[in-house]
A and B are shown apart, each in its own frame.
Chain A
Amino acid sequence: MSDQVPIVTLSIDGRPVTVPKGTTIWTAARGAGIDVPIFCYHDRMPPLGACRMCLVNVEKTPKLVTSCTQEAAEGMVVSTTTPDVKAGQEAILEFLLINHPLDCPICDKGGECPLQDQTFRYGPGRSRYVEVKRDFAKPVSLGPALVLDRERCILCWRCVRFGEIIAGDDALKGFERGFTSEINTPFTLPAASKFIGNTIAICPVGALTSRTYRFVSRPWDNQRVPSVCTFCGVGCAVFFDVRGNTIMRTQAREAPDLNDIWLCDLGFFGHGYVQHAERLQQPLIRKDGDLQPASWDEALDLVARKIRATAPGRVALLAGARLTNEDAYVAARVFRTVVGTPHLDHRLDTRADGPSLGVSWGMTSPIGEIPTRDLFLLVGCDLTEEYPVLWLRMKQAVDRGAAIIAITPKALEIDRFVAHHLVHDYHEGSAVLAALAQAAGGDSPKTGEVGGVDLGRIALAGEALRGAKRPMVMIGKTALEAADGETMYAEVEDLCGKFGIKPSIMRGRGNAFGAALAGLLPNTSPGGRPLAQVRGDLETVWGAPVAVEPGLSGPHIIEAAGRGELDVLYIAGADPSSDVLDRSRWAAARSRLPFLVVVDAFLTETAQAADVVLPALVIPEKNGTVSNIEGRVQRVHAAVSGPGEARGDWQILSGLAVRLGRTIAYSGWEEIFNEMKTLIPGLEVDAIVPLAAPARAVSAPGAQKSDGRETAADGEYPLALIVGDVLFDRGSMSGRSPAIADLAREPWAMLHPDDAARATVADGDPIVLTARRGSIAVMARVSKAVLPGHVYVPRGYDAAPVNAIVGAGEAVTRVRVRALVTVAGGQGNG
């Protein structure tokens, strides 16, 4: 820092304390290890001074002062233990408890409640209040995850301010005045937030509690297991609170450079699937057309026999995000050496000809740097839906004056924080980007429009971009998988080149980054280096020859299977039938594939069609490491043991290798991790290990075959279909976590009001979306977030799989919308 912050020295309880000017007395006291009780103040938010609990005595002031709002000054003499302070604390606690119901035996916060603890420590131990307490109906439901008890609320405003300051979603607000003050959601609708779990965590009393954790456990019942959330790819540090062999709740674990102390609601409430009754318990083998229970020996013998009987080049591996780094590494080793195939990949949900396959996924700068950036360019990246906690970090930067430029086909939820929001026609993203690049260069027409976006606004965005000093550029799935994705990526890369930075590829969920790091890519070794470059090392460590020819990538494996070029497909923790962009491709692959092995935790649609299904553990049941979107390697601890005979993936692969004639055995994850260290430079737990950038073969911009016939609207199918990812969906895991399934609600599609009016559809109506290939029934959401002529449909709803109506060959899938009308009985036959 160039400008030195002045220092002040004050005395707290007789101890000299030196702090930078501007520090509050409370913060100074905490730094000196002196405990001053608080309720309303939270160190991630500015002071408020609502609860008056932090009173201290400052010499030469006539009254006690609130230490959380009072700045420390030079020579100040503060005491926190004098009789007047004690009397003040007792009076405040007695006052706060006037209306508090003291139903601690029933309250979920009991045992970890700041009000309970501080009353015990600082309270008067008696109350003079004998009148009737405030009486509210309770409990009040504030949405699928949140329960409010207004009687317990002490009106500290932490939850309200969290929504205003940290998340920016204003999910909770204060209503009424004085005695009748209460917290509620605006218009008493279900709380509209992706971060509501945090308000439960920071509530200093039991007013806000979680529906999933309601009355199920006490803090003293829980074993805290440090782990990592592996839903989205941010890899937030969490604790799983385990009672017996059940995960009771997920709590955030402080990680300043990652999630700080926050989580999103998928992280908070998404653990329900782990204990779901439908978890696979034993291997299944298809006999006489049905999947029937079998022993592990039987199942593995059958898989090994099939693999042995097949030429190595006709076997392929698709591994998904459920694997730990060690699982992925052993998978790569077994398939490259023992099976001898180069066809292995973890990427499924991409276009075979798109740019996603040529770039390494993940961020190019650490998450901890986000708050220090001054401009963010989001291209086709719906941050709150895909990587929600990153938004909380970005919000910090926005509060410091950073600007966001977003180029998306659907308006983002964080719309009001986006300085330049360029919502464009779905197939015109590259044109808008080109115009932005031109504007950033300083010359652009100020009038007219491109891709549905006013050029004047693009010019303003370009100006902001030109003035940026520390920009960060993120390109997401919506852009990369668009028909003009290749062009968009090339333009984004050019734009980044002007700032000397690289774009962050915001792709990949779960432990996709660990899979890439561990070598589950068709053309690279563990660590991301080209196979030819490290062949010698690999052969020494693995003790077997390794082919260096690149194999098929995920979408190509599925295409090859569809052409009948593969005989055995081993799928671990992936669900192609819902992951691939075009479901018909997978259906074709399955029908021509002689033998399909699926290793998964649930009988997914893919598993239902498999020849052998092996039950696997999920990440909360495994020991090992996982990587996140910035490349940080974090340790996961097994919180619970798996159901039935389910096994970890590397144990399954090791058993398979033995049956294929080679012993690849490890004593535990540490041994695998140590072996990985010899191949991946810099690999350590808690280190950021970037993937070596692969050599990229970019087809020249403009080479994209944009087929005018397909993009043009026609009368029959007037709307362009935008497919996106949402945080809360109903997939194989999320659909089995009750709170998430509730948050996700019915499958839905978003329409512009004009289009809705034309189809005589209102918000919440059931509708049918029909494309040339088929149709799905969804709930209409009418919103101006999409432009006229577009319809947005989220992926991940098993009941309305949008990939069933998308054609991978089409540049833009066109659909029509019809209201789903219930036909009165007897009239439907005409």
Chain B
Amino acid sequence: MNDRRRSTILRYARQGVAMLRGLGVTFRYLFKRPITIRYPEEKRTAVQPRFKGRHWLTLYGDGMERCVGCELCVIVCPSQAIYVKAAENTPEHQVSKGERYAAEFQINELRCIFCGFCEEACPTGAIVLGREYELAGYTRESMIYTKPMLTEPYPGSSGRDPQREV
């Protein structure tokens, strides 16, 4: 009888110590600065250097589009997220360097797995994966990014040097 009682007390004591040790961690961190941030009120200042976020279609320094509508990104894309329809440049309407440009360029950001193959395949360095990771929308349609959404607003605004050689 006594033995049984003693072992029960010992068990409770062991459990109590374990709980206190666990709570010790909790209390220790209670008084440290948190490592999480209060997203979306707070945001990170920088992502890792090789981070792959939203796509941009980049421009040359003179504002010409780098994309020539070759569709290599379309064929390399493992999730078939890209649609390109090319057209011919005319002297009055010169969009890119060369005879061909992308009249339509769409990326389905829901399908995209951010592998970066498109950037690797691109012969002119037109398509790049940027830093932006806030890719959410209320409808599926809004997640199909069209050419005006993808084209960087001014040369270099995606963070890539407009003068870079590929």
Residues of chain A whose beta carbon lies under 8 Å from any beta carbon of chain B: 103-106, 110-111, 138-139, 214-216, 218, 220-221
Contacts and interface: CB of A to CB of B under 8 A. Distances in A.
A105 B70 contact: yes
Contacts of A218: 70-71, 74-75
Interface residues of B, number: 16
Contacts of A138: 99
B98 interface: yes
Contacts of B108: none
Contact of A220 (B71, B87, B123): B71
Contacts of B124: 105
Contacts of B70: 104-106, 110, 218
B100 A220 contact: no
B112 interface: no
Interface string B55-74: 00000000000001111101
Q: Which 4 A-B pairs have the closest CB atoms?
A: A105-B70, A215-B86, A106-B100, A218-B71
Nearest to B103: A215
Interface string B97-111: 011100000000000
B72 A105 contact: yes
Contacts of B72: 105
Interface of B: 68-72, 74-75, 85-88, 98-100, 123-124
A214 B100 CA distance: 9
A216 B86 contact: yes
A104 B72 CA distance: 10
Contacts of B68: 105-106
A104 B124 CA distance: 12
B71 A106 contact: no
Main secondary structure on A side of the interface with B: loop
B6 to A, nearest CB: 79
B86 A220 contact: no
A216 B103 CA distance: 10
Contact of A221 (B74, B87, B88, B98): B74
A220 B100 CA distance: 18
Contact of A215 (B75, B100, B123): B100
B99 A215 contact: yes
B69 A215 contact: yes
9 contacts: A105-B68, A105-B70, A105-B100, A105-B124, A106-B99, A215-B99, A215-B100, A216-B86, A220-B75
Given A106-B98, A218-B70, A221-B71, 15 more contacts: A104-B70, A105-B123, A110-B70, A111-B75, A139-B99, A215-B86, A215-B88, A216-B85, A216-B86, A218-B71, A218-B74, A218-B75, A220-B71, A220-B75, A221-B74
A630 to B, nearest CB: 40
Contacts of A220: 71, 74-75
A283 B43 CA distance: 59
Contacts of A105: 68, 70, 72, 98, 100, 123-124
A138 B89 CA distance: 12
A531 B159 CA distance: 80
A110 B100 CA distance: 13
A213 to B, nearest CB: 11
Most buried by B among A105, A138, A139, A214: A105
A193 B24 CA distance: 91
A106 B72 CA distance: 11
A106 B65 CA distance: 14
Contacts of B87: 215
A139 B98 CA distance: 11
Contacts of A103: 98
A743 B89 CA distance: 23
A220 B84 CA distance: 12
Contacts of B98: 103, 105-106
A214 B90 CA distance: 13
Contacts of B85: 216
B44 to A, nearest CB: 36
Contacts of A215: 69, 86-88, 99-100
Nearest to B67: A105
Contacts of B99: 106, 138-139, 215
Contacts of A139: 99
A103 B100 CA distance: 11
Contacts of A106: 68, 70, 98-100
Contacts of A111: 75
Contacts of A104: 70, 123
A139 B88 CA distance: 11
Contacts of A110: 70
Nearest to A215: B86
Nearest to A243: B85
A138 B124 CA distance: 20
A103 B99 CA distance: 10
B24 to A, nearest CB: 62
A712 B123 CA distance: 72
A224 to B, nearest CB: 16
Nearest to A108: B100
B108 to A, nearest CB: 15
Contacts of B75: 111, 218, 220
A104 B69 CA distance: 11
B110 to A, nearest CB: 20
B147 to A, nearest CB: 16
B132 to A, nearest CB: 27
B148 to A, nearest CB: 20
B103 to A, nearest CB: 9
Contacts of B100: 105-106, 215
Nearest to B70: A105
Given A105-B123, A106-B68, A139-B99, A214 B88 contact: yes
Contacts of A216: 85-86
Nearest to A214: B88
A352 B87 CA distance: 51
